[in-house]
Structure 1
Amino acid sequence: MIEEFMTFMQNQPVLVFFLVLSLGYAVGRIPLGGITLGPAGGVLLAGLFFGHLGFTMYSAIQTMGFAIFIFCVGYQAGPKFFDVLMTDGLKYLSLALVIAATGFGLSAFLAGLLDFQPGMAAGMLGGALTTTPTLAAAQDAVSSGIAPVPEGFTEQQVLTNIGAGYALTYLFGLIGLILSIRLLPKFLGINLAKEAAKLTGGSDEEQGVNLGKITRRTYRITKTEGLDRNVGDIEMSAPGKIKVVAIRRNGEVIPVLRDTLFQVGDEVLVLGDVKFLLVETNAVAEEISDDEGLSVAMSTVKVVVSNKEVVGVKAKDLRPEQHVGAIPLSLHRHRQSLPLSGDLELRLGDVIDFYGPEEAFDRLAEHVGHVEREIEDTDLLTFGLGIAAGIMLGTLAITIAGVTIGLGMAGGLLIVGLLIGFVRSIWPVFGRVPSASRWVLSELGLMMFMAGVGLNAGGGIVDIVQTAGIKLIGAGIIVTLIPVFIGYTFSRKVLNLNPAEAFGGVTGAMTSGAALSVVCEASKSSVPALGYTGAYAFANVILTLAGTLMMLM
């Protein structure tokens, strides 16, 4: 009975994958001294267990997951990567390089000193620094043929060594980093909460535009003063201060056009600056409560200036029908915020945040340019072509002095993802991947890859533990701890970072979101996230390439 069940399972690799996925998620949630392995660690352990029992998974599933995951890493990091590069780039690039070089050098040195088999050094580097892209790039370098397989070993043996090296060092890489980040400030006598209070945090781009100064109110016109002016005249008399959204006359809602004239008794729903409405409208109208009829749903959209007719036109000279009903909130040019004023000339690619009703956005799309609505659609065309382009870029290679050098699939996907993510942040008319969709794609891709790593390495994990297990785990502890101390010392003594920002930068350079949460908790602030974001943007790229480079040594 058991043999029949095992045979059945071995013939159902898709079923095995989803069992590994579900059990791995359950294992990843089990707290170990207040620390959890997380989904990636749990799925890896579940994969090792099933792999040891002889189960396998289609190699195409692992490769597909790898491609989706690495592309998503680049796509998500793209805007911040280039932003950091153009602002504090040298500072955070140097921190990420110091930690990566320290971990890389230690891994290579210890692997040679302890006579590790090929592939273990790359796996140890990825596991000790808890950096999955390093593992992915190392395995891709072998599978794609970029890194030659040493004599006396098969490709599968090297891949198994990479996976086992990662698995045996990942656990302490996660726990050891968190413990060192938690204990080091106490050992150095640093009060992270006081240090974080000395810094001012940046704005959170995820929370969107500021609506604090914008209000919606309903008025009833009570006086004849100014009734000779139409909607367009009134809005243009105070650009950006007021927008007429809806008008109800004699109980019926009428269309709002630029030449619409008001009448005494009209009930008008307007958007506008709080101070302006409180001062200016009282002279001709009274505010009323509107429970139905004019309760128009409002939302915000990003409008990309792409219509050549408005390029070069000053904001105050836009014809009223081009923006009636929606109020501009902010304008960004090449990701830089510019003050909104009537004399500002619109340029191709300007991104303007508008607030208003849906029908106003339709007019904006017709007259101004592309409207990026808050929708859940994913641009799978760009997503698919981006992955295809990354794979093709990774196949390109040049031969120098008899040595073939190429980016590999990991490098190609990472570069294309970075570029698409950054270009979309400037010109958001394509490549839309909502955050929820991006999370699902990235997480599923990572789990497909990690399940494959565990299943492939599981068959040889016991032999590796028996021959090199203690040495590998001990070396991994060194590779985890020393970069933390060197990185923190470098960030304080050379870069002159605030301690809270320095610890955040160290966790970012080691790509550990779990360790960042420990720093933020101790700091009672999100300030460490500033350092984390800067270093993380570079570390993801550097450590991905480090996995390939390690296999070429």
Structure 2
Amino acid sequence: MELFDWFAQTCRDNPSIPIFLTIGIGFWIGSLKYKGFSLGVVTSVLLVGVLVGQMDIAIPGPVKNVFFLLFLFAIGYSVGPQFFRALRGDGIKQVLFAAVVCLLCLSVTWGVVKVMGYNAGEAVGLFSGSQTISAVIGVGTDTMGTLGIDAARKKALIDIIPVAYAVCYVFGTIGSAYILANLGPWMLGGIKKVKADTAALEKEMNESSLTSDPAYIIANRPVAFRAYSVTSDFFDSPQSVAQIESHLHSQGRRLFIERVRSGHNIIEPTPETRITKGDEIVLSGRREYIIEDESWIGPEVNDAELLDFPAEQIPVMITRKTVAGLTVDELRSQTYMYGVSIKSIDRGGVAIPVLAKTKLMAGDTLTLVGLASEVNTAAPRLGYVDRPKTASDLILVGLGIVIGCLIGVLTIHAGNIPVSLSTSGGTLISGLIFGWLRSKRPSFGRIPKEAVWIMNNLGLNMFIAVIGITSGPSFVSGIKEVGFGLFLAGIVCTSLPLILSVIIGHKIFKFRPAINLGCCAGSRTTTAALGAIQESLDSTLPAMGYTVTYAVGNTMLILMGVAIVLMTS
């Protein structure tokens, strides 16, 4: 007991110790899974924080605010490009859908709050937990700080938020995934019908009118370089490189001859270079198409000298107006893409399927693979070569958060109610703007995605850890106060908007089933549900509906943390 008393006093004297203890144990518990179920990192950190908080530890207020602002700026920076482009591009239909879904989430929650007579703190916790938007805890807390109520009442409202969040979050996560991955397909005609429609849509999107290349469908198939000895009767008469590649393409295999050994000489071929029996050639392209070529070319050879040449794999952010809006099919038909394969497409951190009719957007990052000379010719025609770097533009981060906070503290009065975005809402908007500007001027304001991940995950969970620790002493009494009724209310607030969203996406917006379910997951910012949908449909196609709606949903739902406080206070 003396040892525990010493440890508790040490934690009280050094608040950084309990914070990092909570982070470490919370992340570990959040990584555990049982039959596919996991509490998730945020909920685990909160509950561990509550347990640690039983030692009655006081933590200075600015600590949690600093990390929360880092998190919000990182969120805005990540989704900014998709958010602003969608507002004026082909994604406007998905933008409108996401806005409808977010308004449904807010309206249903507000209705339940009015029926059940919940206070503002319970309302914020109910909304953030049932919609699995953890950032609302911070935005709601920040907004309550602007209300003209006495300090004791304000503290009581703020203390109940994490309690209500914890009660509602578990079903919010599990329920969202189940509804969209299982109930959703049933509502759209049954899983067999939805799978068949998804397969048909994939086939439609992969039909190429410009390049005879079906090798688009799985983004992460590797690109390979392999050498063959030319022995087949096909080469009884010499064939030019152009003739051979045309023959390959007519079979639906986009392969290229990169090098030729003729006798003792190794040459870089041109379209007119002629290949004869006894030569050796190097083919490049998707691995599954290269390995079929021994039958008509000849046996594969391990010619170290022939295969010793510079090949490159580089990420390129699309910034050229001449490329944004093209389909993958149209891009591959450009002369500067000769010899270059698209390995993957990243849109706001989400892998997009590489299909012939996948439309490219400014801000997408394509991973190009090919000979160094060919890749370096193609890359500048697409946009900015975003080579991996470790340095982050902390000038952008610091000044961006300052500008956001200054915007957020501006207050207007609606009657006697002060209305402002709060520093958190202002920082989110600042992140959106600076993220969008960076996509327009890629050489400015670079923050590597690894750094964004740290700001996002550590920022939010540091904030949640402090919330859990400081609310720990009142958490148990809070659970008794909110009762089992709040859990049931959370089920309603999670389920009803999602069920209505699936119907609206199908009946009004006329989305195809896979896109519809992806849009619903994105609008509700539930990545776990996207994974469950893709697994249920055995397809990555739902990601096509996820990225734009995620950008809009993340922004609107966080800002609705302000609205739910003002509507219920």
Partner residue, 2:66 = 64
Q: Which amino acid counterpart does residue 32 of structure 2 have in structure 1? A: I
SS at structure 2 position matched to 1:428: coil
Partner residue of 2:312 out of 296, 299, 304 = 299
Q: Tell me the alpha carbon deviations over residues 33-81 of structure 1, each in whole angstroms, 9 at most, x when there is no partner.
A: 5311121121111112222342344433311221111111111112222
Partner residue of 1:434 out of 424, 431, 448 = 448
In structure 1, distance between residues paired with 2:379 and 2:522: 40
Contact 1:335 1:425 in 2 (8 A): no
Contact 1:28 1:38 in 2 (8 A): yes
SS at structure 2 position matched to 1:199: helix
Partner residue of 1:19 out of 6, 21, 26 = 21
Partner residue, 1:161 = 160
Partner residue, 1:474 = 488
TM-score, L = length of structure 1 = 0.73
Contact 1:511 1:540 in 2 (8 A): yes
Partner residue, 1:384 = 398
In structure 2, distance between residues paired with 1:364 and 1:19: 49
Superposed counterparts of 1:76-95, under 5 Å: 76-95=78-97
Q: Which amino acid counterpart does residue 393 of structure 1 have in structure 2? A: I
Contact 2:67 2:462 in 1 (8 A): yes
Contact 1:361 1:371 in 2 (8 A): no
Partner residue of 1:280 out of 251, 273, 280 = 273
* Mean Cα deviation higher: 88-97 or 485-494: 88-97
Partner residue, 1:510 = 524
Q: Tell me the alpha carbon deviations over residues 436-481 of structure 1, each in whole angstroms, 9 at most, x when there is no partner.
A: 2222221111211221222233222112211222222221111111
Contact 1:71 1:417 in 2 (8 A): yes
In structure 2, distance between residues paired with 1:359 and 1:185: 48
Superposed counterparts of 1:8-407, under 5 Å: 8-32=10-34, 34-143=36-145, 145=146, 148-151=147-150, 153-185=152-184, 187-188=186-187, 189-191=189-191, 192-200=194-202, 276=271, 279-280=272-273, 291=304, 295=308, 297-299=310-312, 333=322, 335-337=324-326, 340=334, 372-399=386-413, 403-407=417-421
In structure 2, do the counterparts of structure 1 residues 265 and 293 end up closer, same or farther at CA, with 3 Å as the change threshold? closer
In structure 2, distance between residues paired with 1:187 and 1:290: 55
TM-score, L = length of structure 2 = 0.71
In structure 2, distance between residues paired with 1:89 and 1:282: 48
Partner residue, 2:355 = none
Q: 1:303: Cα distance to partner?
A: 8.2
Q: 1:139: Cα distance to partner?
A: 1.7
Find out whether 1:448 has 2:462 as its counterpart.
yes
In structure 1, distance between residues paired with 2:476 and 2:491: 20
Root-mean-square deviation over aligned CA pairs = 4.3
Q: Percent identity between the aligned chains?
A: 27
Contact 1:508 1:531 in 2 (8 A): yes
Contact 2:112 2:493 in 1 (8 A): no
Partner residue, 2:514 = 500
Contact 1:104 1:546 in 2 (8 A): yes
* Mean Cα deviation higher: 538-547 or 193-202: 193-202
Partner residue, 1:409 = 423
Q: Which amino acid counterpart does residue 165 of structure 1 have in structure 2? A: A
Partner residue, 1:457 = 471
Partner residue, 2:548 = 534
Partner residue, 2:296 = none
SS at structure 2 position matched to 1:378: coil
SS at structure 2 position matched to 1:460: helix
Larger radius of gyration: 1
Unmatched 5+ residue regions in structure 1? Answer: 218-241, 246-263, 307-330, 343-348
Contact 1:209 1:353 in 2 (8 A): no
Contact 1:194 1:523 in 2 (8 A): no
In structure 2, distance between residues paired with 1:519 and 1:353: 25
Contact 2:403 2:430 in 1 (8 A): yes
Contact 2:177 2:533 in 1 (8 A): no
In structure 2, do the counterparts of structure 1 residues 359 and 60 end up closer, same or farther at CA, with 3 Å as the change threshold? farther
Partner residue, 1:546 = 560
In structure 2, distance between residues paired with 1:157 and 1:387: 29
Contact 1:149 1:158 in 2 (8 A): no
In structure 2, do the counterparts of structure 1 residues 459 and 269 end up closer, same or farther at CA, with 3 Å as the change threshold? farther
Q: Which amino acid counterpart does residue 134 of structure 2 have in structure 1? A: T
Unmatched 5+ residue regions in structure 2? Answer: 207-214, 228-255, 282-301, 337-362
In structure 2, distance between residues paired with 1:195 and 1:364: 35
In structure 1, distance between residues paired with 2:376 and 2:90: 40
